[in-house]
Chains A and B, each alone.
Chain A
Amino acid sequence: MTTTVPAGPREKVDQRPNTRAAAHTGVPSERRREALAAWVFLAPTILLLGLFVLIPLGGAVVLSFQRTNGFGDGTFIGLDNYTRLLGDPVFWRALINTIVFTVLVTPGAMALGLGAALLLNSALPARPAFRSALILPMAVSGVATALIGLLMFDENTGLIDALLRTLGLPDIDWQSNPTAAFASIVLVTLWWRVGFNMLVYLAALQGIDGTLIEAARTDGASGGQLLRYVTIPLLGAPTFFLLVVNVIYSFQVFDIVFVLTGGGPQNATTVLVTYAYDTGFVSRDQGYAAAIGMVLLLFSLFVTAVQWRTNRGRDVAG
């Protein structure tokens, strides 16, 4: 970064040494003016975050204790929405699907991302071109990704079934078989997400001091030992970051499921967010949708708390 100090103003300052003293004796003291400037600079951000995040958050908590009729005012019904959740099979299905999705996508995307990063960090011709290819899906919108997925997984005209037929294998009912539909969502998500994981790992790998690797190599470490005892222990911070980011993303998955399967067949791919969307905006049961949102909030708070604790632990250790 350029850190050129403009010479002109400095010299001018030296000619007027009293400006500073004058500022200190001014009625709004320098400190107060600084604080005032800070609040003015922060005001638009605080206003927007307050109005469009904090107030709706409070609203969501209140709404989750209400029965609503369409978009009108609600009536307070205490914990009824929450007890209704407990006995709602679709909610449990959505919750389990969300957890299974997270458990498959998070380690999957991280392992594939790490593998790709190690590959691209090794001696290889045309590395920038390979990197571009692998992160390209990040630029594609979720809706387009899901529609491309639909194109590939369509039971009648899809390319994957055509490929299976050509190889003499049986078709897979990607849209009508619950397990296959779920698998298609996971596969499409991995295609979309692996590039991000690779990028973070690649940046970390390139930050590793090369002499460390050389030293281990001269000590006779094999490739596998190098990976296990040198590289992976050095990837703690990005691994943790990706774990948190992937888990939070997985809880919030929406575009892919909404467009690719719409939650079907028979709720086999319904996740918390698509269920909340359907409840709040299709059947317009907003209080109940807010209660589903609260479950998501609890998950997010849990992840944040774990992250907070671990980070503090690391600070103390470091």
Chain B
Amino acid sequence: MTAATLRSHPSRARRTGVMLRTVAALVVAAIVLFPLYWMLVVAFSPRSELFSGRLRLWPESFTTENLERVFRSFPVLTWFGNSVAIALTVSVMTVVLNLLAGYAFTHLRFRGSTAVLLLAVATITLPLQVIMVSLFRLVTSLGLYGTYWAVILPTSASAVGILLARQFLVGIPRELLEAARIDGAGHLRTFVSVVLPLSRPVIAVLFFLSLLGSWNDFAWPLIALKENRLFTLPIGLLYLQSQNGPDYGTTMAFALINVVPMVILFLVFQRWFVQGFARTGLR
């Protein structure tokens, strides 16, 4: 709209304005992107160059030795597999639980609906850190400590997702569900064959948000996992860093393995992601 106005009044001042803003945006983007660029440079630079202490903004020589060393010295593929397994399980569980709950809150009448919703929403503002010690004790006494489930189960019930699902499902017309019901479909059948197919956009948003959150989660997996072979990538990254000290080449090579998959997914699914945040932000 502003672009159209701009074209109809091609004044010199406006054009200067656009140019100034473009320069400003370029500077901001450069500042934001530079650390990521630098991570790449360091990951592919030989060790000797990093300790020179001189300012150099591009690699003088390219090497994959850091990446090779990471794969040789650490069970990176296992950690990667753990991260994938945990993140996928958490995301699938979150989506299913959130949609079921959202459907119950929007299209089923039952006593105590408001009370249960309020209780669920109240858990959003409760930081994990408040309960981390007693949650650890509980998980231990359930015999889950040091297993995948110790990470998966406590992170799967997300009340934020319930709100998102609820907001979306409210938009499904009641008549549509009633039609299915009158046709003899039970509640579960209605949910599976009517609600789920219509919910693709919110499923995508919930799945992606949950995947990103679980993939990058640190505090709780750090507490809940003990064995090296069950580590997720962020925990492995910290472990590697504590083993290697200030060897940034190796650390950054490994950081790339943690960062690149989500950056790619993020760029691909950005539209949905942006919409999802727009909804939570504006309510």
Chain A interface (Cβ within 8 Å of chain B)?
A: 1-3, 5-6, 9-10, 12-13, 19-20, 31, 33-35, 37-39, 41-42, 44-46, 48-49, 51-57, 59-60, 62-63, 71, 116, 119-120, 122-125, 130-144, 147-152, 154, 156-157, 159, 162-163, 165-166, 191, 194-196, 199-200, 203-204, 207, 210, 214, 237-238, 241-242, 248, 251-252, 254-255, 258-259, 272-273, 276-277, 280-281, 286, 289-290, 293-294, 296-297, 300-301, 303-304
Contact = CB atoms under 8 A, between A and B. Distances in A.
Interface of B: 1-3, 5-6, 14, 17-18, 21-22, 24-25, 28-29, 32-33, 35-36, 38-39, 42, 50-51, 53-55, 97-98, 100-101, 103-104, 108-111, 113, 116, 119-120, 122-123, 125-138, 140, 153-154, 156-157, 159, 162, 171, 173, 175-176, 179-180, 182-184, 186-188, 191, 198, 201, 212, 215-216, 218-219, 223, 233-234, 237-238, 241, 246, 248, 251-252, 255, 258-259, 262-263, 265-267, 270, 274, 277-278, 281-283
Contact of A42 (B25, B51, B116, B248): B116
Q: Is the interface of B mostly helix, strand, loop or mixed?
A: helix
Nearest to A161: B53
Contact of A19 (B36, B182, B262): B182
A124 B25 CA distance: 9
A119 B28 contact: yes
A119 B22 CA distance: 9
B142 to A, nearest CB: 9
A159 B55 contact: yes
30 contacts: A1-B201, A6-B179, A9-B183, A13-B179, A13-B182, A13-B183, A19-B182, A35-B110, A37-B104, A38-B109, A38-B113, A45-B162, A49-B157, A51-B138, A53-B154, A60-B133, A63-B134, A116-B28, A142-B234, A143-B218, A151-B38, A165-B55, A242-B281, A248-B127, A259-B238, A281-B136, A286-B133, A293-B130, A296-B127, A297-B127
B126 A297 contact: yes
Given A59-B137, A143-B218, 8 more contacts: A5-B179, A37-B188, A44-B157, A49-B123, A133-B32, A136-B33, A159-B38, A300-B125
